[in-house]
Amino acid sequence: MNNEILNSIDIKNADEIIEKLESRAGNIPDRTLTRMKTAIEFFNLKPQKIVNIVGTNGKGTVSNAIFQTLKSFGLKVGMYTSPHLVNYTERIVDNDGEIDYSVFLKLVKYVSDHEDEIDCGDFTYFEVITLAAMIYFEMKNEDILVVEAGVGGRTDATKALESSILQVITSISIDHSDYLGDTIYKIAQNKSGIMNGTKTITLNTGDALKALSEEKEKTNTTLHSSCDFEFTVDGKIVEKEMIPVSGEFGVKFLAREIKINPKQFGVFRGENYALAFAAIVTILKELKIEYDNDKIVEALNTASWIGRTEVIGREPLTILDGAHNIDAIEKLFKSVSKINHKKLITVFAIMSRKDHEHIAPVVRKNSDILIVTTNNDSKALDPETLKKETSADYSFYNLKDALEKSKELADKDDTILIFGSLYLVGEILKLIK
């Protein structure tokens, strides 16, 4: 692909391009890498240095922290994440910012138009966007890519990009159990499939670490885990779970050590930013770039990720988060419990495919006032069903009405917490713009 070909692509029917793309959503003929590998060869995509980010929770935060830090070292960095919250262009970012929407449309059309010629069956929604992203990054001649997996690892479309120099595996918990499995061990087995004989970094323990360690042996991968990390608060060594929801803490990975105070709030910040730091140390060494402590600290302290414990209002304090599985939701409530407030007013919506029956009592137990709603997606759980499951105080089919009700009920010393889905986050961001 070159600019001459790109400029020749007709996108007058932009709506049709997006309609065709979105018609692929949920259509997964089979979970193999055959289509991706064939397409990569067809489009003659050259290998690029890739850092794979895989896991259940924290992928976006870790990806962005690595991306922002590597940029500060003068590297040309591409970042591919999903899903988007408001615009498709959020998924494909580099030093120049988000991909231009017209370029995104052209690349999606380019991939789709060659589907029959590639002759490997229909591409999935995620495969089309992944291929578009990789073509774009090749055109931009990036030095390195930070690539977040979609679902799982072993047969995720991003696994087909076989030039990974590092894999970072974030916190693994129960999610997408219909495909990945119904235990931590099974899910970790799938995600471990991203390992390729280079280096992998994780802070998972228990059954998840067991599965990752087994894959390490099969693939001859160097696996860095908890024993390679050390956490400190006020100069004292602590477990990662003891890192405060805000404030400074120290992280040591192998021979490197920093003190950071990321602006992201939450009990998971220690784990996420430690993984990012370890990845950065590893990448700099791999690329033979001189280590600079000050650049790393500044970048990690200022990196932020939309819709992750994001404060969108004050008096009352209003927090927006994309937590949508048991582990993330429990950690979110634990984080919010550290805030001094009179009442916690929760606005909650969730997708019907999620484990809502087990999540419901957790949400009810931790909320003083509970408002359930929908995120305007056809796959969202019906608010009346959700109200029955959670014994919610209020239910609304209109998200704007739910938001207004939360503000009406809240005093300035209360906290409003809005969460349950990244799609919900996107809809809220549209409302408050």
Confidence at residue 109, expressed as pLDDT on a 0 to 100 scale: 97
CATH of domain 3-302: 3.40.1190.10
| 3-state DSSP assignment of residue 147 | strand
Separation of alpha carbons 82 and 63, rounded Å: 11
Q: Which long-range contacts (CB under 8 A, 24 or more apart) does 286-295 make?
A: 286/165, 286/166, 287/49, 287/75, 287/143, 287/144, 289/73, 289/75, 291/256, 292/73, 293/258, 295/69, 295/72, 295/73
Contacts of 179 (CB under 8 A, 6+ apart): 31, 151, 152
Confidence at residue 182, expressed as pLDDT on a 0 to 100 scale: 87
Q: Which of 209, 281, 284, 286 lies closest to 251, judged by CA?
A: 281
Contacts of 116 (CB under 8 A, 6+ apart): none
Q: CB–CB of 279/62 below 8 Å?
A: yes
pLDDT, averaged per 10 consecutive residues of the chain (433 residues), comes to 90 94 85 94 96 96 98 98 95 98 98 94 95 98 98 94 96 84 94 97 98 98 98 96 93 96 91 98 97 96 90 94 93 93 96 91 98 89 96 97 97 97 93 84
310-432, superfamily in CATH?
Answer: Mur ligase, C-terminal domain (3.90.190.20)
Confidence at residue 175, expressed as pLDDT on a 0 to 100 scale: 82
Where in the chain are the domains? 3-302, 310-432
Q: CB–CB of 334/433 below 8 Å?
A: no
pTM of the complete model = 0.94
Separation of alpha carbons 192 and 175, rounded Å: 15
Confidence at residue 376, expressed as pLDDT on a 0 to 100 scale: 80
Confidence at residue 431, expressed as pLDDT on a 0 to 100 scale: 92
